[in-house]
Structure 1
Amino acid sequence: MGTARVLGGRYELGDVIGRGGMADVHLGRDLRLNRSVAVKMLRTELARDPRLWSRFRREAQAVAGLNHPAIAAVYDFGHDGVESDALDGSDAPFIVMEHVPGRSLRDVLREGRLAPEEAVQHQLGVLAALDFSHRAGVVHRDIKPANVMITPDGDVKVVDFGIARVSGDAGATATHTRAVLGTAQYLSPEQVRGEIADARSDLYAAGCLLYELLTGRPPFVGESAVAVAYQHVHAQPVRASVHRAGIPPSLDVVLLTALAKDRTDRFPSARSFREALTSAAKGLVRESDWADMETLQSVSAT
C-alpha cells in the first residue's frame, strides 16, 4: 500500500473524482484544517505551457474572490514541484476547492427528468450563482449538468470555474478548445464560431440546462459533437412544451429568449433571466420555496 501524495506539505491526494479536458480533480484532505477538499491539477502536458500555467493561476485568483452560497469556494492555489522558472511535468499547478457532497444534476437526470417545480428551483440557484460571478467579471464558460451539484440539503452549488475567463482576457478561446469538446450540447453559437464567450454565453448554456431539466433532454442532439454544434448555430429548438405536457407557454417564451442565436437577443443579465423565470413559473413552486430562493438571490444583489 503506497504512501498518499501530499501537495505543498498540506493537501493529501485521494482518488480522481472528475476529469476534464484541462485538468483532473481529486478528492483530497487538508491536513492542516482536517477537512475534505477537491484538488484540481492541470494536466502534465498543459503545465509545460507557461501561458496556460499563468492563466490557470489568474483564474484561480479571480474565482477565489467569489464568495456566494451557490458557488463552490476556492481555498488555495499552489504548484507541485520545486520553486523554479522552468516549467516541466513535475511542476504542475493545482487549485484547492470546496468539496461539495451530494450529486450532480447529470446524475440526477440519469434517473429521469425532474418535476417542473424542482427544475425551476435548481435553475434559480444556478442563475443566482451566475448573477454574482458575472457582476464580479467572471464568466464560467462551461455551465452543464455535471457542473451543478445538489447537496444533501437540496442546495445548488455551481462548481468547476476552472476554465472560467476573467472579463477582458482576450486569449481565452483557442486554449480551452479541448475543455469544451465534450460539452457541445451546451455551447453557445458564438463559442461554436470560435468567438470569445461572455456572460450571455453562460446564459445560453443555462438555457440549455433549463431545457434539459424540464424535458429530460438537451435542446439539440446529434450523432457527433459537430452535428450538435451545427444545430446551435443554425437550428431552432423544438418548444419544451412539445416534449412534455404541462409546461406552461410562459416557460417556452423564457427558453426562446435564453436560446436566441444572437447574444444581443438574449437576456441581458442573469438577474433578468431569473426575474423572467420567476414570473413565468409562478404557481409551479411552493411559496416557502420562493422565500428560500429570494434569500439566496438577495446575496447576489449585495
Structure 2
Amino acid sequence: MYVEVTTDRGRRYAVRMGQRLTVGRGSAASIRVLADRVSRLHAALELTPEGLWVTDLGSRNGTFLSNARLAPHQPVRACARDTVRIGGCALELRTLEEDEVAARSRARTRRLDEPLLPRDEFEVLGEIGRGATGRVYAARERRSGLEVAIKVLHNEFAPDLQERFVREGEAMVRIRSPYVVRLYHVRRLAKRLFLVMERVNGVSAKDRLCGGPFPVPEALKVCEDAARGLHAAHQAKVIHRDVKPANLLITAEGRAKLADFGIAKVVDSLESLTKTGEGLGTLAYVSPEQAQEAKGVSPQTDLYSLGATLYHLLSGRPPIVPKSLKSFFALLEGPLPSVRSLVPELPPAVVYLVHHLLEKDPAHRPPDAAAVAEELRRLREEHYPDFGAVLDQSSADEETLLPPEDLSRARER
C-alpha cells in the first residue's frame, strides 16, 4: 500500500508505508520542486498505519492542505485525494480511505507477528517494501524503543542456503559505515529467516527516478556515497552483487546508503533471478562475469553495477534493457550505447568514468571503490562547485546501534 503524489507537472512519486519524504527545491529534498516561493526543505510527507501526515518544515511561504495553512512543524493528517500546495506548486495525493489503511495495517501486523516475530521483542508498524527475496516491515524494538526495518525472506530457500546466509551475516554485521544500511543481526525462527536492520527515513533512487533523471551533480554524489559504502564492504571481504537504484536509499539529508548486502548470494543464479518479480530489471545491472559464472565475482563486479546505476541516474534508463534472458546475453555481446548520446551536456570526464566502470573485462575497470569515490568527488567539485552542502566525510553522524546478537545462538532459535 502506498500514496501516489503527482506534481502539477505530471511527475509521480510513491510514499510507502513507514517512509518520510521531504519536499523542496534543495538537493536534499526527496521530491524536488523547482517552483516560485518553495523553500529548500519546505514540507514532509509521512505514511503511517494511521494515514498520511503532512508537515510544514518552517517554510517561509507556508504549506497549504485543502486551502488551510499548516502551523509549522505540526503534522496534519491528509484525506484521500487532498491537494497540498507549496509555493507555486500543487501536489495531488491519491491514497486509500483511512479505514482501509488501518484494516490492511492490522492484517499485516497479524501475519508478521504470528508466528514469525516474538511479540515481546518487536511491535510491527507496517509493510514498507517487497522484492525478489522477501518483504520489509517497519518495526519498533520494544526494549530500546528504536525503530528498525525487518526483512523476512521468502521460505522457498533450502535449509543449506539459509544456513549459508546466516554464516555470511556474521561478516555483514561487522560492516560499519554511514553509507551502508546497518545490519544488526540475522535470525531464524519457524524455518524462516529475517534480518533486523537500520531503518532509513528516505526514498530509494529507484523511486526518485519516477520523476526523471537526477541532476548530474546529485547523481555523482549519490554514487560517490555508494562507492564509499562498497569500499567499507570490500574491506570486510563482502561483495554486494546487487547494486542497483532500488538498493540505494537516500536520506532526507541527501546521503545515500547501500541496502541489501549479501542477499543476492542466496539467489545468485540467473535461472532463479529471472523467476522473481524483479528479475529482468535486476539483470540490467549485472556484470558479464556475474552473468556467466556467479561464483567468479570480485569487488570489480560491484563496480560494474555501480557504473550501470550511475548511467541510469544520469540518463533515466539503464545501459541495457533486456526483455528476456536470451536478449540479455545478446545485449552484453555488443557495445553499450554512450551515456553522452542521452545526456549531451555531460563533461567528457564523467562520460569516461561511467564507461570505465562498465568495461566488460573486470581488469580494465578502476582498481577499487575508494578510487571511484574520490574520482566522483573530484568531478563533482570541479564541474559543479555550487552544488548544495557537501557532508564532511570526517564528521559523519554517529549511528544509534542495537547490540548485535550472537549469531551462533541465533541459528538455533
TM-score class, shorter-chain normalisation, is 0.7 to 0.9
CA 293–142 in structure 1, closer or farther in 2 if over 3 Å, else same: farther
Greater alpha carbon shift after TM alignment, 57-66 vs 203-212: 57-66
CA contact (8 A) 1:13 1:39 kept: no
| Structure 2 counterpart of 1:33, from 136, 139, 144 | 144
Partner residue of 1:204? 304
CA contact (8 A) 2:227 2:372 kept: yes
What TM-score, normalized to structure 1? 0.84
CA 224–187 in structure 1, closer or farther in 2 if over 3 Å, else same: same
CA contact (8 A) 2:245 2:309 kept: yes
CA 279–152 in structure 1, closer or farther in 2 if over 3 Å, else same: closer
Tell me whether 1:237 sits opposite 2:336 in the alignment. Answer: yes
Partner residue of 1:119? 219
Partner residue of 2:272? 177
Alpha-carbon distance in structure 1 between the residues aligned to 2:309 and 2:144? 36
Deviation for aligned residue 1:175: 9.3
- Alpha-carbon deviations, 1:53-109, whole Å to 9, x = none? 1122122221111111011111122222xxxxxxxxx32121100111111000111
What TM-score, normalized to structure 2? 0.62
AA matched with 1:70: Y
Greater alpha carbon shift after TM alignment, 175-184 vs 269-278: 175-184
**Alpha carbon RMSD of aligned pairs, Å?**
2.6
AA matched with 2:141: D
Alpha-carbon distance in structure 2 between the residues aligned to 1:30 and 1:143? 28
SS, match of residue 138 in structure 1: coil
CA contact (8 A) 1:64 1:74 kept: yes
- Alpha-carbon deviations, 1:177-215, whole Å to 9, x = none? 337734011000011113322211100000001111111
Partner residue of 2:385? 286
Where do 5+ consecutive residues of structure 1 fail to align? 81-89, 166-170
Tell me whether 1:271 sits opposite 2:271 in the alignment. Answer: no
Tell me whether 1:61 sits opposite 2:170 in the alignment. Answer: yes
Give the structure with the larger helix fraction: 1
Partner residue of 1:99? 199
Partner residue of 1:74? 183
Alpha-carbon distance in structure 1 between the residues aligned to 2:367 and 2:165? 28
Tell me whether 1:139 sits opposite 2:248 in the alignment. Answer: no
Where do 5+ consecutive residues of structure 2 fail to align? 1-105, 399-413
CA 114–217 in structure 1, closer or farther in 2 if over 3 Å, else same: same
State the aligned residue count. Answer: 281
Deviation for aligned residue 1:19: 2.3
Deviation for aligned residue 1:136: 0.9
Higher relative contact order (CA 8 A, sep 6+): 1
CA 204–112 in structure 1, closer or farther in 2 if over 3 Å, else same: same
Partner residue of 2:286? 187
Larger Rg belongs to: 2
